[in-house]
Structure 1
Amino acid sequence: MRVAIAGAGAVGRSIAGELLENGHEVLLVDKAPTAISVERVPQAEWLLADACEITSLDEAALQRCNVVIAATGDDKVNLVVSLLAKTEYGVPRVVARVNNPKNEWLFNESWGVDVAVSTPRLMSALVEEAVSVGDLVRLLRFSHGDANLVELTLPADSSVAGTQISEISWPEDTSLVTIIRGNRVLTPHGEETLEPGDELLFVAAQAREEQLEELLQARH
């Protein structure tokens, strides 16, 4: 997979390092000469250019990329890069960094964003996930289909504790992705029985989140 990353700061370089370790091709693009630190990620391709300029993206051969990551520290730049990647070059997957949570509402398919990653929101979500039992925690928002990755730790008195997955009537547009039970990561199947303390990860439409939370909460 070929990935172009706009923004060669600490975030962009860290992402590049992870992707390279996983065997992907990576191109780092930044307009600041001081950001071009080839020695820090020597396996990556580097391009000194403005990722908001069509000529620069032509030089980067963005049409050859499977994924574009807009990872600069400027939300306006990330939106422009996302829009150009999707509309001008037809990049299949566009991931954008959200620096200011107040701008998160802009990072959707209208701007070419498939996945928006807000570091402040993600950190707060991880804190909530660590301390919340019985409350639905939104971990990640997907632009397409208005779906979110959400998590809930099953309380001891949940109405579905001790119930097989096949016997539960899940809300529409909701899919149980995985179950984390202690140190184990379980693939959900119909005969699996949910246990108190299970961390359940779902992909769910935003409109179904309240219904899902009600289903999993304590018995009344």
Structure 2
Amino acid sequence: MKVLIAGAGRLGTQIAQVLSAARNDVTLVERDDERLAELDDMPRVRVLAGDASEPGFLAGAGARAADVLIAATGRDEDNLVISLLAKRRFSVARVAARVNDAENTWLFDGRWGVDVAVPAATPLVSLIEEATGATDTVALLRLSKAGVEVIETAITEDSRAGGHTLGEIALPAGTVVATVVRDGQPTVPGPEIRLRPGDEILLVSHEATEQEIHAAFQ
């Protein structure tokens, strides 16, 4: 799923991290250079500097190909303009917008291109569920809140796990394989799956460190 997020505040950044971890194609847009400089490294997220309320910039950011646009800036007027452009000019299938001031809620409807209006106080999990309509991806966020780490490792030509089945890999305690992504497609992680170079493995663990998990495969 291609997701375009306008606003790299705390909310927009968290949404980008969760959806990118769930293997969505995420672009995060922010016009404040100082805010951009404060962002932590997000290797799976395309971060662009610019104003999403400008049609030309929004087009360049990928609005025409987006499946979902989330307007998550701190200004309701900006979120409305971004939503209207996304729906009317770029025909984005699903548009969600954050409502910062409850008194403006009545504006956030189809007339402004908003499919889903989300009050600022709505929990992050609910916002992502409403915005994307995909509750399965939100499980990653729930896991992190429960103290469970989501860790990724990849099989290369040099990985000692290459050629072995998942059942032959000694995983650290409290660790399970969530999925094996092969040729861009997730597969059910049965013990009989034989790992090969190019495979990407998503694991969840409440005890092991990232280094311990990598050591099991590399």
In the superposition, the TM-score normalised over structure 1's length comes to 0.54
Unaligned runs of 5+ residues in structure 2 are 132-218
Note closer, same or farther for the CA distance 1:114–1:5 as it changes in structure 2 (3 Å cut). Answer: same
Name 1:5's counterpart in structure 2.
5
CA distance in 2, matches of 1:141, 1:42: 25
Name 1:57's counterpart in structure 2.
58
The amino acid across from 1:51 in the alignment is A
- Cα deviation, 1:36-84, whole Å, max 9, x if unaligned, reads 2454323200111111101111211210100000000000000000000
CA distance in 2, matches of 1:119, 1:28: 19
Alpha carbons 1:69, 1:95 under 8 Å: kept: yes
CA distance in 2, matches of 1:113, 1:16: 19
The amino acid across from 1:49 in the alignment is G
Deviation at residue 10 of structure 1 after TM alignment: 0.7
In the superposition, the TM-score normalised over structure 2's length comes to 0.54
Alpha carbons 1:13, 1:41 under 8 Å: kept: no
CA distance in 2, matches of 1:13, 1:25: 14
The amino acid across from 2:102 in the alignment is P
Deviation at residue 35 of structure 1 after TM alignment: 2.0
State the SS of the aligned residue for 2:47. Answer: strand
Work out whether 1:27 is the aligned partner of 2:54: no
CA distance in 2, matches of 1:28, 1:7: 7
**Which stretch of the first structure deviates more once superposed, 78-87 or 28-37?**
28-37
The amino acid across from 2:100 in the alignment is N
Deviation at residue 95 of structure 1 after TM alignment: 0.5
**Which stretch of the first structure deviates more once superposed, 35-44 or 7-16?**
35-44
CA distance in 1, matches of 2:80, 2:26: 20
Name 1:82's counterpart in structure 2.
83
Name 1:43's counterpart in structure 2.
44
Question: Equivalent residues in 2 for 1:1-220 (5 A)?
Answer: 1-37=1-37, 39-120=40-121, 122=122
CA distance in 2, matches of 1:34, 1:72: 15
Name 2:148's counterpart in structure 1.
none
CA distance in 1, matches of 2:23, 2:82: 24
Deviation at residue 141 of structure 1 after TM alignment: 9.0
CA distance in 1, matches of 2:20, 2:130: 25
CA distance in 2, matches of 1:141, 1:43: 22
CA distance in 1, matches of 2:57, 2:68: 17
- Cα deviation, 1:132-167, whole Å, max 9, x if unaligned, reads xxxxxxxx999xxxxxxxxxxxxxxxxxxxxxxxxx
Alpha carbons 1:2, 1:65 under 8 Å: kept: yes
Alpha carbons 1:98, 1:116 under 8 Å: kept: yes
Note closer, same or farther for the CA distance 1:49–1:141 as it changes in structure 2 (3 Å cut). Answer: closer
Unaligned runs of 5+ residues in structure 1 are 127-139, 143-220
State the SS of the aligned residue for 2:29. Answer: strand
State the SS of the aligned residue for 2:80. Answer: helix
